[in-house]
Amino acid sequence: MDVSTCGTYKLWYSIGDGFFYFLPIVLGYTAAKKFKLNEFIGMSLGIALTYPSIVAMKDAKALGHVFKGSPFEMGFSESFFGIPIIMPSSGYTSTVIPIILAVALAAPLERKLKKIIPDVVKTFFVPLIVLGIMVPFTFLVVGPVSTVICNALTIIFKTLYGLPVVGGLIAGVLIGTLWQVFVMFGVHWGLVPLGMINYGTLGYDYVLSPYFCVSFAQTFVVLAIILKTKDKKLKNISIPAFVSGLFGVTEPCIYGVTLPKKKPFVVSCIAGGIGGGIIGFMGVKSYTMGGLGLFGLPSYINPKTGDVSSLVWVLVATLVASVLGFVMTFLTYSDGEKKRKITKSENEGAKSNPVLTAQTFATHETAPAQETIVAPVTGHRKLLSELKDQAFATEALGKGVAIEPEEGKLVAPCDGEITAFFPTGHALGLKTDNGAEILIHVGMDTVKLNGEGFKPFVKQGQKVTKGQLLLEFDINKIRAAGLEATTPIIVTNSFDYSDVVYTDADNIAMNDDILYLV
């Protein structure tokens, strides 16, 4: 009985394969957040790449081919207004580069259209026009170009391995150094087919072998950070990332620890390159696509002869890469300049001296303040950690500061657009012209008032300027209901910045600088 035809197998297999099959949709969403594109537009582009009718086109009888007979060969079975829709034989499911490039190009188009299309029809026409242009452009240009890039990568490494003596060394160093970058952008899929062909024709593969030690280089860089850092939050992230890294799952290490810190990620690439060079130079062979991390070691034992020479050299290269990554990171890593609060005198001086703002209020290697947020209300400053609401106190919604208001007027803390305004008037969202996403929540649990005591002066979708009156609210009515009037000002996309620094001035006047986005 063929297990793969069993319903039980199919259901369980969908868990592992389904996510990667529809990966362009997931990446469409995450890339859209990064490039500041409407997330639903990003997802729609990904859906188009995995739409069943589109997927079926790759298996349809081809009407013609381009680059026929070459490694860049692609076919087409349909056309768009007479223009051939050229696709690789594998289609675009599970791909990475096409959707990222498509989103990157769609983002500036959306911003341009928002400026020229009237607000009254913007919500409908902007997504319609963006998708109407970008979906065809993705299939006619972005997809084929991405395919050519991946195929070119395959040719380059196949040529390198063909060079006598030094070919394996050079290829191993390149794969070991760049593998993590390749994976992040999906370019590694250009090498995977070459390895699969080797398994089928030779019974082993040597092309992909250098990547094995890279995950361990990354993992032991994280171990060094665990031992060096004094940041409890970073340590809490790093420990489970280290454990998962030992078993080949390095995404938590990369995206949670080393990539945000930059230098440790570079160190892991260097260490991986040296280890990869050893593996490539020694012509290490893997005999199957085995597990990841420690589970992948048996793949380097010849199942027919029991030869373990490849396993020995993999262990040597992995040890070298791990030790180098650990030592270089341990010697060079630092948590950086300790974050500090802004003094009252600095706060006052920054208002009249923009150069001072760039130097004084930076917290990471004197990086300049990217944007300044002013106080929307007058009152007394409070830390988020002092609030009873855990969503604010734990910074789950983002970093920021809170103000205990003295008067019931709330103004815009910056130039931007009102992206959300609750019907009850107690909370609103605002996106600045530079992309910061601000949440202002007047009082704690004030949604229970059902809008009583709140008088909005703007609407969702409206453009506002710094200092413009947005809302009036009755402080006495809030407190009479047994609720707190404390107003958090949160940067909900804090992860887009190196830091969000707050003033330590106790008494805040409306339009005083309170947050600096670094």
Enzyme catalytic residues: 441
Distance CA 151, CA 97 (A): 13
Of 177, 150, 153, 172, the closest CA to residue 161 belongs to 172
Amino acid at 11: L
User: Dihedrals φ, ψ of 454, to 5°?
Assistant: -120, 135
Amino acid at 378: T
CB-based burial, 17-39: b 16+ in 10 Å, e otherwise: eeeeebbbbebbbbbbeebbbbe
Distance CA 316, CA 283 (A): 13
Question: How wide is the angle at C-alpha 313 spanned by C-alphas 309 and 314, nearest 5°?
Answer: 115
SS3 518: coil
Of 365, 175, 360, the closest CA to residue 263 belongs to 365
Cα distances (angstroms) measured from residue 273 to each of 75, 104, 172, 321: 36, 29, 7, 8
**Tokens at 321, concatenated:** 């890469």
One DSSP character per residue, 218-248 reads HHHHHHHHHHH---HHHHHHHHHHHHHHHTT
**Tokens at 390, concatenated:** 């855990």
Residue 210 near residue 176 (C-beta atoms within 8 A): yes
Q: What is the dihedral of CA 344, 347, 353, 355, to 10 degrees?
A: 110
User: Dihedrals φ, ψ of 206, to 5°?
Assistant: -120, -10
Eight-state DSSP code of residue 427: E
Distance CA 465, CA 20 (A): 44
Cα distance between the two ends of the chain? 61
**Tokens at 73, concatenated:** 């060969």
* Residues whose CB falls within 8 Å of the CB of residue 258, separated by 6 or more in sequence, listed in order: 218, 221, 222, 225, 264, 265, 268
Per DSSP, what are the bridge partners of residue 297?
Answer: none
Amino acid at 14: S
